[in-house]
């Protein structure tokens, strides 16, 4: 058996496992938590760092055409004016005057309620609410209207009106998702997503600054510095990993949509006349290959091409790589062709030229960009969902036993291997195991465990995704010096010399 068929169940399992084994904790938990924020524990921080390191290694260090950058989180507020975020980075929201709750307009739907063949109003439900919830709310509206004896036409609940499109009259007749009376929902209002702060001693508007909502603008703002100091030539990219902050109205689905998250972004600068469609396709393929290389099944990744009439005016094309998360198929990686919009905006607002001289074409121009933008936290959730597995294996007594394991790719796994002396009260075994552990520790993050039955020790490592178990037994000491290597997924065991073991781990982890 692989992951449970019920995906809501899978999300619950993941949240539980992450807390229990020290991957992810709710932020500020001792004060009751803080919605939209998370803390990464000892295993989570390793997993996170391994994802970032793999991305950096493959997209920056192993490529000749991409340079790295680490810009500040708080930048001159003029950057966000130029980029359009100050005026435009908002979501339309609907408030409930009774419950004081706020909903994203694009996630709220009004379902008509029909009693005895007569349309009597609507129930508003958040996207994804189940049929049972719809019927419950429709019955609540029936009670409110004092028509307990009327027959509810359940089929009519299927029809929907998007909340953002609803008329004032329809809103008046609508029972909000958390309201006890109809007519409490407001019309949609724009809600700013950027977190504001004050810089310096003044508390007035001139001191207002923003926590960046994307790392991309730090790249555009430094593009000239990189061009002037590096040896880049078109096409080339600038890559950055860093925190981003958005005052998301409905942070949800664990770490999928949070208020503080991390992005791995590339701005890839190309000539205005370049074959941007071809380059866009190349980037999509490169990104899919990379996701597969760190352990995501290719069949769980699909492409969502944004329709031309829904694109931002400066965008030529956007395709999202979608992943089958436990809560459904959702965006993992956005790959956009953003034209020369951002650089032109910064050129206009800063008065500094953003042109580059293209030696090959003997031409000067403001380049266009292709932007692959990926969230670290979403990648981590995708990896956890894909890795989570339940199966049955024989225990120490040969009886079938249920186990939970995380099938992390060795490159991404928090611990690469665990070293076990067969028995903890045999100093010669312990000494040899400690020596091997310390040798491996020089290169990789490895774990040492001497306590409990060997089967238990394997199981503990399976649950946190350690791909290899290495056991030192009497044969190691008395015979040929070989150790037992156990594979997490197949549970198969074989004997190797220590040098063979290191060559094997090297291939598996570092490729
Ligand atoms: N510079 C382009 C940009 O920021 P985006 O689609 O808004 O584009 C890019 O974000 C990626 O960042 C998303 O595909 C997702 O992986 C991640 N991301 C965005 N908002 C997020 C949030 N609230 N929580 C976690 N990850 C988020």
Could you tell me the residue ranges of all domains in the chain?
8-89+194-384, 93-191, 415-510
Dihedral sign of CA atoms 331, 333, 337, 343 in order? positive
Q: Which atom of ligand 1 is nearest to the CA of 333?
A: 14
- Token pair of 189, please? 């209002």
Cα–Cα distance, 373 to 369 (Å, whole number): 12
CB 36 within 8 A of CB 248: yes
Check if 8-89+194-384 and 415-510 are the same fold. Answer: no
Q: Ligand 1, atom 21: nearest CA belongs to which residue?
A: 257
The residue contributing the CA closest to ligand 1 atom 2 is: 373
Local structure of 417: helix, strand or coil: strand
Q: Tell how far the Cα of 200 is from the centroid of ligand 1, in angstroms.
A: 29
Handedness of CA 370, 375, 378, 383 (dihedral sign): positive
Pair of tokens at residue 236:
């080339």
Q: Is-contact 284 321, C-beta < 8 A?
A: yes
Q: Ligand 1 centre and the CA of 459: distance in Å?
A: 35
From atom 26 of ligand 1, which residue's Cα is the shortest distance away?
375
Task: Note the pLDDT of residue 5.
Answer: 41
366 alpha carbon – ligand 1 mean position (Å): 26
Return the residue whose CA atom lies nearest to atom 14 of ligand 1. Answer: 333
Instruction: Report residue 466: phi and psi, to 5°.
Output: -70, 120
Q: What number does the ligand 1 atom closest to the CA of 320 have? A: 14
**What does the pLDDT read at residue 157?**
80
pLDDT of residue 501: 97
CB-based pocket (< 6 A), ligand 1: 214, 216, 246, 248, 257-258, 261, 263, 265, 331-334, 371, 373-375, 377-378
- Give the Cα separation of 312 and 281 in Å (integer): 19
3-state DSSP helix/strand/coil percent for the chain, to nearest 5?
A: 35, 30, 35
Q: Which structure tokens are listed for 145?
A: 């209207």
For residue 463, the surrounding DSSP H or E stretch is helix 454-463
| Helix/strand/coil for 259 | coil
pLDDT in tens, the chain (511 residues): 343 344 668 999 999 999 999 999 999 999 999 999 999 999 999 999 999 999 999 999 999 999 999 999 999 999 999 999 999 999 899 999 999 999 989 889 999 999 999 999 999 999 878 888 899 999 999 999 999 999 999 888 877 888 989 999 999 999 999 999 999 999 999 999 999 999 998 888 889 999 999 999 999 999 999 999 988 999 999 999 999 999 998 888 999 999 999 999 999 999 999 999 999 999 999 999 999 999 999 999 999 999 998 888 788 999 999 999 999 999 999 999 999 999 999 999 999 999 999 999 999 999 999 999 999 999 999 999 999 999 999 887 888 989 999 999 999 999 999 999 999 999 999 999 999 999 999 999 999 999 999 999 999 999 999 999 999 999 999 988 999 999 999 999 999 999 999 999 999 998 8
Atom of ligand 1 nearest to the CA of 375: 16
Between the CA of residue 248 and those of 5, 91, 256, what are the distances in Å? 30, 9, 11
Residue 366 DSSP one-character state: P
Residues ≥6 apart with Cβ < 8 Å to 95? 101, 102, 103, 185, 186, 189
Q: Which of 83, 334, 343 to mutate to test the pocket of ligand 1 (most atoms within 8 A of CB)?
A: 334
Nearest CA residue ID for atom 25, ligand 1 = 257
d(CA 112, CA 371): 42
Q: How remote is the CA of residue 263 from the centroid of ligand 1, in Å?
A: 7
Q: How many CB atoms lie within 10 A of CB 159?
A: 13
- CA 373 to centroid of ligand 1, rounded, Å: 7
Q: Whose CA is nearest to atom 18 of ligand 1?
A: 375
CB 498 within 8 Å of CB 417: no
Note the pLDDT of residue 203. Answer: 82
> Which fold is adopted by the domain 8-89+194-384?
BirA Bifunctional Protein; domain 2 (3.30.930)
pLDDT at position 170? 94
Strands (E), 208-300: 208-210, 236-245, 260-270
Q: Closest Cα partner for 100 from 178, 35, 163, 166?
A: 178
Which is nearest to 384 in space by CA: 10, 39, 58? Answer: 10
Q: Which atom of ligand 1 is nearest to the CA of 257?
A: 24
User: How do beta strands 66-69 and 236-245 pair?
Assistant: parallel
Residue of minimum CA distance from atom 10 in ligand 1: 373
Choosing from 221, 250, 375, 382 the residue with most ligand 1 atoms within 8 A of its CB, the one to mutate for a pocket test is 375
Residue-level pLDDT at 4: 39
Q: Give the integer Cα–Cα distance in Å for 377 and 36.
A: 12
**Model-level pTM?**
0.90
163 secondary structure, DSSP code: G
Burial annotation 204-218 (CB, 10 A radius, 16+ → b, else e): eeeeebbbbbbbbbb
Which residue, judged by its Cα, is nearest atom 4 of ligand 1? 214
Identify the architecture of domain 415-510 in CATH: 3-Layer(aba) Sandwich (3.40)
Residue 211 Cα to ligand 1 middle (Å): 15
Residue with tokens 């436990």: 326
The encoded tokens of residue 428 equal 């010669």
Structure confidence at residue 1 (pLDDT): 38
> Can you tell me the distance from the alpha carbon of 191 to that of 91, in angstroms, rounded to the nearest whole number?
5
Sign of CA dihedral 28, 33, 38, 39: positive
Residue nearest to atom 7 of ligand 1 (CA): 214
Q: What's the CA gap between 6 and 58, in Å, rounded?
A: 35
* Nearest atom within ligand 1 for CA of residue 213: 4
- Atom of ligand 1 at shortest distance to CA of 258? 24
**Exposed, middle or buried by CB within 10 Å (0-12, 13-18, 19+), for 428?**
middle
For the chain, the first-to-last Cα distance in angstroms comes to 29
In sequence order, the β-bridge partners of residue 320 are 304, 334
* Contact present, 384 and 14 (Cβ < 8 Å): yes
370 CA to middle of ligand 1, Å? Answer: 16
């Amino acid at each position: 058996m692989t992951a449970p068929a019920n995906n809501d169940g899978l999300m619950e399992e993941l949240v539980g496992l992450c807390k229990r084994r020290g991957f992810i904790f709710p932020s500020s938990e001792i004060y009751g938590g803080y919605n939209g924020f998370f803390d990464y524990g000892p295993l989570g921080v390793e997993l996170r760092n391994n994802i970032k390191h793999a991305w950096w290694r493959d997209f920056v260090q192993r490529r000749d055409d991409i340079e790295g950058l680490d810009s500040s989180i708080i930048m001159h507020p003029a950057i966000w004016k130029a980029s359009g975020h100050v005026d435009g980075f908002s979501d339309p929201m609907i408030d409930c005057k009774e419950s004081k709750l706020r909903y994203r307009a694009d996630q709220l739907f009004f379902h008509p309620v029909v009693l005895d063949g007569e349309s009597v109003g609507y129930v508003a439900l958040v996207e994804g609410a189940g049929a049972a919830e719809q019927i419950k709310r429709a019955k609540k509206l029936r009670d409110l209207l004092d028509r307990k004896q009327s027959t509810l036409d359940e089929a009519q609940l299927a029809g929907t009106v998007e909340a953002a499109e609803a008329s004032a009259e329809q809103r008046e007749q609508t029972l909000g998702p958390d309201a006890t009376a109809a007519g409490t929902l407001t019309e949609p209002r724009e809600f700013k997503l950027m977190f504001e702060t004050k810089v310096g001693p003044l508390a007035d508007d001139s001191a207002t600054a923003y926590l960046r909502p994307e790392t991309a603008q730090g790249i555009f703002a430094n593009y000239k510095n990189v061009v002037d100091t590096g040896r880049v030539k078109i096409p080339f990219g600038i890559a950055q990993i860093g925190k981003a902050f958005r005052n998301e109205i409905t942070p949800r689905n664990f770490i999928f949509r949070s208020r503080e998250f991390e992005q791995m972004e590339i701005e890839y600068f190309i000539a205005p006349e370049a074959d941007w469609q071809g380059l866009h396709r190349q980037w999509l393929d490169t990104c899919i290959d990379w996701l597969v290389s760190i352990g995501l099944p290719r069949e769980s990744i699909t492409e969502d091409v944004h329709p031309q009439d829904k694109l931002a005016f400066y965008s030529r094309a956007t395709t999202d790589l979608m992943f089958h998360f436990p809560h459904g198929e959702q965006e993992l990686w956005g790959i956009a062709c953003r034209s020369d919009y951002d650089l032109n905006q910064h050129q206009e607002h800063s008065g500094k030229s953003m042109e580059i001289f293209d030696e090959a074409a003997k031409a000067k121009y403001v380049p266009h960009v292709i932007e692959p933008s990926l969230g670290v936290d979403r990648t981590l959730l995708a990896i956890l969902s894909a890795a989570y597995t339940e199966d049955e294996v024989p225990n120490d007594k040969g009886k079938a036993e249920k186990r939970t394991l995380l099938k992390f790719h060795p490159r991404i796994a928090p611990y690469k291997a665990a070293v076990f002396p067969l028995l903890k009260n045999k100093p010669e075994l312990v000494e040899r195991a400690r020596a091997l552990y310390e040798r491996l520790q020089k290169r990789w993050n490895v774990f040492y465990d001497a306590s409990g039955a060997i089967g238990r020790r394997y199981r503990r490592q399976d649950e946190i995704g350690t791909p290899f178990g290495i056991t030192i037994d009497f044969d190691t000491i008395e015979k040929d010096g070989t150790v037992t290597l156990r594979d997490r997924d197949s549970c198969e065991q074989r004997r190797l010399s220590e040098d063979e073991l290191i060559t094997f781990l090297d291939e598996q982890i570092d490729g």
